[in-house]
Amino acid sequence: MCTGQNRRVAVVRRRQAIPQKATPNAGHSAGSSELRPLLRSMLLASGALLTFAPACLAQEPADFYRGKTITLVVSTSSGGDYDTRARLVARHMTRHIPGAPKFVVQNMPGAGGLRGANWLYNVAAQDGTALAALQQQIPLSQVFKKAGVEFDMSKFHFIGNTSASPIVVMSWSASPIKSFADVFNKEFVVGGTGGGSASVQMPLMLNALLGAKFKVVPGYPGGSEIYLAMERGEIAGRVTQSWAGWKSQKPDWIAERKIIPLAQGGRKRHAELAQTPLLADFARSTQDRQLIQFMLSSDEVARPIIAAQGTPRDRVSVLRSAFMATTHDPDFQADAQKLKLDIEAMSGEEAQAIVSDMMSAPAAIIERAKTYMGADG
């Protein structure tokens, strides 16, 4: 706190409030003489404020964060791509925040990521010591007015994003699904988390829109449990994991060809998936293609770090700068490489703009998406 500045303001205000004694028959020069000491004091105090304020504001974030602990909530279970990335950021970001606060990472899975978002909006500290790594479909949950949404995405502050990787529909190689064409002829059992998650929503939309035959088994806490279910043969694949997530979590599966990429999201094919078709390629009309691309727009902000809505603007700025500095830190990059994480750093400002566009999508597209996905709340 800038206590010195507050004391100066109080002194000036008290002096301004002191009534001046009337001096009948006093001339102009006499009155001016009486006022000069007071005016001089007020001007000196004002000058001190102007000189002191910038220094105070420049020091405030360091003064605030020194000795503090930042809680970073991950809206998935431990061990998955969201969790791995969040812990990597937390491990290195502390060095780039003035005052070097400690980080504590806490997993808060539930309701397809809504539990973590609701915590950030309604429970978390509003002073810059609460962050969340939220799932990429969370903005769409609000757009669709899903049950359980107790937050306003437009009021959150995006700090940064580590991935713009497209989702990849994957099948277990031992399953009968060998290409996306098979999905139109055979039942494809895939795993999902909560009812409001993309892992459940997207297959349902593709069923209605394209005539695919996905059967979703919901209720898995997170990606780690879905992977295990694939290995056990309980399900045949997964629809909404990003390519970066597959590479970081299951590089051995890719190398050993235990999984088959069937289709990918995005507006163009990823360089490493040149032979894998786009989901939008299977659209039967221009309107259908636009709808699929809207639904996959969250891929552009796939792994965001977000601050609570009440976080002061100067601290938002500090956190955004620290995030970008972290992603360019050689130690961070070396750790990311060891973890086989593709880092595509995006600033908080850019991520905020993309999500704002998503939230203001034309009503016709939103209503059509809701119809196909049964997203009527």
297 or 155: which leads in pLDDT: 155
Check whether 165 has a pLDDT greater than 90.
Answer: no
Report which listed range, 18-22, 36-40, 195-199, 208-212, is most confident. Answer: 208-212
- Closest to 143 measured CA to CA, from 371, 293, 372, 361: 361
| 260 strand-pairing partners | 171
Where do the domains of the chain lie? 65-164+301-362, 168-298
As a whole number, mean pLDDT of residues 41-58 equals: 44
Q: What is the pLDDT of residue 371?
A: 80
Q: Using an 8 Å Cβ cutoff, are 369 and 209 in contact?
A: no
As a whole number, mean pLDDT of residues 344-373 equals: 90
Q: What is the pLDDT of residue 98?
A: 96
CA distances from 79 to 82, 242, 299, 373 (A): 8, 15, 20, 29
CATH number 3.40.50.2000 is the correct assignment for the domain at 168-298 = no
Confidence of residue 374 (pLDDT cuts 50, 70, 90): low
344 or 185: which leads in pLDDT: 185
Give CA–CA dist 128/124, Å, rounded.
10
Specify the amino acid at residue 370: K
As a whole number, mean pLDDT of residues 149-168 equals: 94
Work out the mean pLDDT of the chain and round it to a whole number: 85
CA distances from 102 to 66, 94, 313, 322, 375 (A): 9, 6, 21, 14, 40
Q: Reduce the secondary structure of 58-76 to three states and give it as a string.
A: HHHHHHHHCCCEEEEEECC
Specify the amino acid at residue 141: S
Give CA–CA dist 90/87, Å, rounded.
5
Global confidence as pTM:
0.67
Check whether 18 has a pLDDT greater than 80.
Answer: no
As a whole number, mean pLDDT of residues 343-367 equals: 92
pLDDT tens sequence across 233-283:
999 999 988 898 898 889 999 999 999 999 999 888 988 999 999 999 999
Check whether 10 has a pLDDT greater than 50.
Answer: no
- Closest to 375 measured CA to CA, from 268, 307, 291, 302: 291
- Closest to 237 measured CA to CA, from 290, 308, 186: 186
φ and ψ at residue 251, rounded to 5 degrees: -65, -30
Specify the amino acid at residue 371: T
Q: Which CATH superfamily does the domain covering 65-164+301-362 fall into?
A: Bordetella uptake gene, domain 1 (3.40.190.150)
Check whether 185 has a pLDDT greater than 60.
Answer: yes
As a whole number, mean pLDDT of residues 113-124 equals: 97
Q: Which of 10-14, 294-298, 341-345 has the lowest mean pLDDT?
A: 10-14
Q: Using an 8 Å Cβ cutoff, are 166 and 345 in contact?
A: no
Check whether 43 has a pLDDT greater than 90.
Answer: no
- Pairing of β 304-307 and β 157-161: antiparallel
What 8-state DSSP symbol labels residue 267?
S
